[in-house]
Amino acid sequence: MKDNKNALGIIIGVVTFAAAVAAAVTAFFLVNEKKKRDEEELERYLDCSIQ
């Protein structure tokens, strides 16, 4: 019985860890994508304001 609880705890821990890593990676890519879009928008704005 105790072995089943330990195995279940390990499985839940691994799944939780995988979900946390996936969320962190997704957040990293979303932040980078937003930063890239903001820089492109600023560059476009500066180009238009110069002309």
User: What are the sequence ranges of the domains in the chain?
Assistant: 25-51
Q: How far apart are CA 47 and CA 24, in angstroms?
A: 35
Kindly state the DSSP code that residue 24 receives in the 8-state scheme.
H
24-47 tens-digit pLDDT = 999 999 999 999 999 999 999 998
Rg (CA), the chain: 22
Q: Name the pLDDT band for 13 (thresholds 50, 70, 90).
A: very high
Q: pTM of the entire structure?
A: 0.70
